Structure 1
Amino acid sequence: MPIRIPDALPATEILEGENIFVMTEFRALHQDIRPLRVLILNLMPTKIATETQLMRKLSNTPLQIQVDLLRTKSHEATHVSAGHLETFYRTFEDIENEHYDGLIITGAPVELMEFEEVDYWEELCRIMDWSSTHVHSTLHICWGAQAGLYYHYGIQKYRLPKKASGVFEHRLLKPKSPLVRGFDDRFYAVHSRNTDVKIEDVKAVDDLEIVAVSDEVGLYIVKSVDSRRFFVFGHPEYDTDTLKLEYERDVKRGINPEIPTNYFPDDDPTRAPLNVWRSQAQLFYTNWLNYYVYQTTPYDLEKVGE
């Protein structure tokens, strides 16, 4: 089934080229069903790449999804044109009286700053507070997961001795959770972060449960007991070459980064990486949309959050 996005969005042509069903606005308006409304708060500097990655995952489900893109007004993006933002993105003032079935809050390259030092922190707090009454299910990714746990539950983040970058093996702690239905007992996922949240801090909160972890890099999936909030500490949306591009970027900056773990064959950055996380990543987004958004959201969007 299709994903419904504006015809002129750069992701449209890319997804159609991958044989992904993208529905035009005209066709969507003439179907007598209510699509799921999903809002993406895109905090990543590589906005077009992140849009495309997330929409690729959201599109591969038997559901019609209408996607709105949200940006922070208190931060000026420098890696994307103002025209792209004006054309395709909305601000919180545009949507604060609307309701959504799902919200995705992305990561952001601000991990080494204290939360309160981030220039859009107050605006992000307003959005996270608003999500409790206007969004049925919210998914927080990477730094967005750390920010969500800090804001909603007071859980601190900690700086890692070295960056967790690479592809790591994970195991399920809640294998019967619908969120990981279809997952292998051992599976691979991508991490790219400089900070972490301690497992014992999450366990100390009765309203949270841990679904999946890695013995190498710790937490991967955490959710609220009421299934309204989800926190994933990796990047299941990443493309095959995303870690490669991050590594090459840091090399050019003179940061002297370590080679991402278990990513390049024989740890040779000149060789093309293999994607061993794609199927699990797709299952994650599909299961979240199906079991925690579509199956439980009210048909009347005005009742979301009640």
Structure 2
Amino acid sequence: MPIKIPNNLPAANILESENIFVMYEDRAYTQDIRPLKILLLNLMPTKITTETQLLRLLGNSPLQVEVDFIYTATYAPTNTPQEHLIKFYETFDAVRGRKYDGMIITGAPVEQMPFEQVAYWDELCQIMEWSKTHVYSTLHICWGAQAGLYYHYGIAKYDLPQKMFGVFPHKKVSGFQGKLFRGFDDVFYVPHSRHTEVRRKDIEKVPQLRIVAESDMAGVYTVTAQKGRQIFLTGHSEYDPLTLKAEYDRDVAQGLSIQIPLNYYPGDDPAQTPLVLWRSAANLLFSNWLNYYVYQETPFNLSSL
């Protein structure tokens, strides 16, 4: 089944070239079926790139998905054309009266700032509070996960001695029988690119939270709450094959101190083509979230949420 997207969204051409089944609004309106309604709060500066990454994963599912895009009104994005925002995005005020099957809150390049100093923090808090009553399952990614854990449960983030940068092996926590990682191998890989972390000892003090996947090297990866109505991912399963390369090349060009991303280049040689170790796990993760935590749980009539 397809992912339903606005007419002329730039991501469409890329997705269609990869044989991802997309359906434009005009065609979707002729079908007598209720698609899953997903809200994407895109906090990343390169919004078109992030849209494409997440739509690619949402579209690799037998479910029809309809996506609305929002950005924060309290911070004006500078790396995305204004005409793109006007055409495809709304602000929170425009959607606060709607209800959604699922929501994704992306990461943001503000992780080294205290939460309260982020320009749009108050607005983000309003959105996260609203999600508790207007969204069935919310997926938080990277800084979005740290922000959600801090706002909802008071979990602090800590600076790392050096950037967690690379592709790391992960495993499910022993005894976890939930469906989020159904079909996963015993070891699976996830990209990380962050300067801060949340710690197991803090999470274990909160009875509502459960750590369900982690890495010996990268630490806590997945935390769930409310039987999957809140899911927190500290890594970037959605990353493209060359996303880490782009970040590495950017930092090198700026003369910043940056280590070669781990488990990424063959022989740790940046002249080589990166190895993609995480694509199948990423597709399965998003498919499981949509199927088991959204589609099979939300009511047909969203107004009853």
TM-score by length of 1: 0.98
Question: Which residue of the partner structure matches residue 193 of structure 1?
Answer: 194
Q: Does 1:260 align with 2:276?
A: no
Question: Which residue of the partner structure matches residue 216 of structure 1?
Answer: 217
Amino acid at match of 1:248: D
Q: For 1:10-52, what per-residue CA distance to the aligned partner results, in whole angstroms no more than 9, with x for missing partners? A: 0011101111110121211111110000000000011100000
Shift of 1:176: 2.3
CA distance in 2, matches of 1:55, 1:92: 20
Q: For 1:136-187, what per-residue CA distance to the aligned partner results, in whole angstroms no more than 9, with x for missing partners? A: 1000000000000000000100000100000111111155220000100111
Question: Which residue of the partner structure matches residue 233 of structure 2?
Answer: 232
Question: Which residue of the partner structure matches residue 293 of structure 1?
Answer: 294
Q: For 1:231-269, what per-residue CA distance to the aligned partner results, in whole angstroms no more than 9, with x for missing partners? A: 000000001000000001111121121100111111111
Question: Which residue of the partner structure matches residue 41 of structure 1?
Answer: 41
Contact kept, 8 Å, 1:224 with 1:230, in 2: the verdict is: yes
Identity among equivalent pairs (%): 59
CA distance in 2, matches of 1:256, 1:272: 22
Question: Which residue of the partner structure matches residue 25 of structure 1?
Answer: 25
Secondary structure of 2:210 counterpart: strand
Secondary structure of 1:181 counterpart: coil
CA distance in 1, matches of 2:161, 2:226: 31
CA distance in 1, matches of 2:98, 2:260: 44
**Structure 1: stretches of 5+ with no match in the other structure:** none
Question: Which residue of the partner structure matches residue 14 of structure 1?
Answer: 14
Contact kept, 8 Å, 1:103 with 1:135, in 2: the verdict is: yes
Amino acid at match of 2:158: Y
CA distance in 2, matches of 1:291, 1:136: 12
Contact kept, 8 Å, 1:175 with 1:181, in 2: the verdict is: no
Amino acid at match of 2:139: L
Amino acid at match of 1:243: L
Question: Which residue of the partner structure matches residue 167 of structure 1?
Answer: 167
Shift of 1:225: 3.9
Amino acid at match of 1:232: L
Contact kept, 8 Å, 1:146 with 1:197, in 2: the verdict is: yes
Secondary structure of 2:227 counterpart: coil
CA distance in 2, matches of 1:279, 1:152: 31
**RMSD over equivalenced CA pairs, Å:** 0.8
Q: For 1:112-152, what per-residue CA distance to the aligned partner results, in whole angstroms no more than 9, with x for missing partners? A: 00000000000000000000010010000000000000000
- How many residue pairs get aligned? The number is 304
Shift of 1:228: 0.8
Question: Which residue of the partner structure matches residue 272 of structure 1?
Answer: 273
**Structure 2: stretches of 5+ with no match in the other structure:** none
Structure-to-structure mapping, 1:68-217, within 5 angstroms = 68-173=68-173, 174-217=175-218
Q: For 1:77-127, what per-residue CA distance to the aligned partner results, in whole angstroms no more than 9, with x for missing partners? A: 111100000100000010000000000000000000000000000000000
CA distance in 1, matches of 2:240, 2:170: 19
Question: Which residue of the partner structure matches residue 53 of structure 2?
Answer: 53
CA distance in 2, matches of 1:175, 1:150: 24
Question: Which residue of the partner structure matches residue 241 of structure 1?
Answer: 242
Q: For 1:206-245, what per-residue CA distance to the aligned partner results, in whole angstroms no more than 9, with x for missing partners? A: 1011110000010111100432100000000001000000
CA distance in 2, matches of 1:41, 1:82: 17
